[in-house]
Each structure stands twice: as C-alpha cells, then as structure tokens.
C-alpha cells in the first residue's frame, strides 16, 4: 500500500475546490524537493512503501528464531539489496531502524503483562481471595472458603506462569528488534 498524495491537477474534482486540502498537500512536500524536481514527481520519489520493510523484519524475526542470527542477518541484507538498489538501500535501512525502534518502544510500553487482562485477573483473584478468607472465618462455610482459596492458589500459579511467558517472549522480541536496528545502522553508516 503506497502512500501517494496526488498534486492539484490530479485531485478528484470533489476535493479540488477547498483550500484546506491544497495546503495539506503542499505542506507534505519537503522544501528541498520542491527546488530539485517538479511538484508532480515529488511524492513518487521520496515516499517509500513500508510493507517490504515490515516483510523483511518479519522474515528476520522468523529466521532468527529458527536458524540463528548470522543466517537471518545475511537473508535480511540480501533481501534489502535485491529489493532496492543504490540510495534506496540506505533509505530502506533508515526506515528499518525507525520501525525497529517503534516496535521496541511499543513492546516496552504496551506489552507490560500487568497492563492487560492479567491485571484484572489479579484484581479479581484478590477480591475472591479476601471473600474466601471471610468464608473460612465462618464456622458453617469454612469448607467452602478452603475450597475457594485453594482455587485461588491454583489460578495464581497459572497467572505467574502466564506473566513469566509473556515477559520472556517480549524480552526476546525486543532483543531481536535491537539486532535489526544494529544491522541496519551498521549498513547505513558503513555500506559494503
């Protein structure tokens, strides 16, 4: 899915009339590009489709988990050089670094196990645990309280295991995305 904003002469007629759309389009073009080449060819020149970059990152992650770092990095670089040539490889690598950093920030911020359903699971277990302690205090419902509390202990163990798995998977993914960023930064700073 290429992001391409058409210029004034290429806009559909229903959008041509407003000044607002023209200002957005004119602001989306970098000033240096306006000087170098004509306005109609600007967007096709500097907007790169991110789908091949995401595909390369996904392939790297899959190969890294299966075959190892060396082979995955070779395939990542081969994909970049075969798909793009010349200056586009540098742009590809810069975008790959940006996407990798975005994924790292996303995983560190949003994939915290206690931000999702695990937090609500823990809160509900605490409430049911408090209620089971209350039931254990009553003579008539002591057996029911003990059974509910034992269920809470089992579910707490399951929660601990789920959180440990999620943390380890998130840590592995962050490390892999850092590797991608390092490979791409090395390639941008020292092209072969």
What is the pLDDT at residue 47?
A: 54
What is the pLDDT at residue 107?
A: 87
Tokens 């645990």 belong to 129
What is the pLDDT at residue 148?
A: 94
pTM over 0.85: no
Helices (H), the chain: 13-16, 19-27, 31-36, 42-46, 51-66, 69-83, 87-110, 117-137, 142-189
- Tell which residue, 1, 176, 166, 170, has the closest CA to residue 100: 176
Per-residue tens of pLDDT for the chain, all 192 residues:
443 333 434 434 433 333 333 444 444 444 554 444 444 444 444 455 778 888 889 999 999 999 888 999 999 988 888 888 777 888 888 889 999 999 999 888 877 777 778 888 889 999 999 999 999 999 999 999 999 999 999 999 999 998 889 888 888 999 999 999 999 998 888 755
* C-alpha span between 146 and 148 (Å, rounded): 6
What is the pLDDT at residue 40?
A: 42
What is the pLDDT at residue 192?
A: 55
Are residues 179 and 64 in contact, defined by beta-carbon separation less than 8 angstroms?
A: yes
């Amino acid at each position: 899915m290429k992001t391409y904003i058409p210029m004034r002469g290429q806009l559909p007629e229903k959008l041509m009339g407003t000044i607002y759309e023209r200002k957005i389009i004119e602001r989306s073009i970098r000033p240096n590009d306006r000087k170098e080449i004509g306005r109609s060819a600007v967007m096709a020149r500097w907007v790169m489709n991110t789908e091949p970059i995401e595909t390369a990152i996904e392939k790297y992650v899959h190969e890294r988990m299966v075959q190892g770092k060396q082979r995955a990095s070779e395939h990542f670089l081969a994909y970049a050089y075969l798909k793009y040539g010349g200056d586009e490889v540098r742009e590809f690598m810069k975008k790959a670094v940006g996407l990798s950093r975005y994924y790292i920030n996303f995983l560190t911020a949003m994939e915290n196990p206690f931000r999702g359903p695990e937090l609500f699971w823990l809160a509900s277990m605490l409430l049911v645990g408090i209620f089971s302690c209350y039931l254990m205090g009553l003579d008539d419902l002591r057996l029911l309280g003990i059974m509910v509390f034992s269920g809470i202990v089992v579910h707490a163990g399951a929660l601990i295991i789920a959180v440990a798995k999620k943390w380890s998977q998130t840590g592995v993914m962050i490390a892999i995305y850092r590797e991608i960023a390092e490979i791409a930064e090395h390639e941008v700073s020292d092209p072969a």
